[in-house]
Structure 1
Amino acid sequence: MSTHNHTRRIFLHGLLAAGCVQCLPRFGFAETGKMNKTQAKYQDKPKGDQQCSNCMYFIAPSACLVVDGNISPDAWCSLWIKKPAEEPIGKI
């Protein structure tokens, strides 16, 4: 691939990303790029064994990568994805 095509591709990717950021508020995302609790179907209680504390998006003690606001570790939302098991250090 020539350098010219590579530079153009990077420019076009950047232009696309900038356009997407401009559309976020139009589609209901907060300025933080996160969904509000209503959109995420957030509830203050867990759904079975699914709860924020074992979701891959949860940031202890009370935040989330994808949902805006104060998040309880015992809550649940429709964006829940099981946190992957951590690999023991030193094991391959």
Structure 2
Amino acid sequence: MLMFIEYSTVFAYVIGIILLYFLGKYLVVPMKTVLRLIYNSLIGGISILVINFVGGNFNFHIALNPVTAFIIGTLGIPGVFMISILKKLFEI
């Protein structure tokens, strides 16, 4: 028993596979950016915990919330200095 597949069906499969390839390629790039931001925020949160652990001896702590973790995770060491200066500046 021989099965014949029409050219239009083969063409539709090929076009579908090509579209899936390009769609997947364009969705991976934003996903990498989102994963990098999440990773940096986690690193920022860990650095805030370390600062709070060490700063506890000097009566200094930084609130651990998504905003401060994101700022410190994104900016790194300058973010730590910025948050510390802002905390001291707005302290009553």
TM bracket (short chain): 0.3 to 0.5
Length-normalised TM-score, structure 2: 0.34
Larger Rg: 2
**Greater per-residue helix proportion:** 2
**Greater per-residue strand proportion:** 1
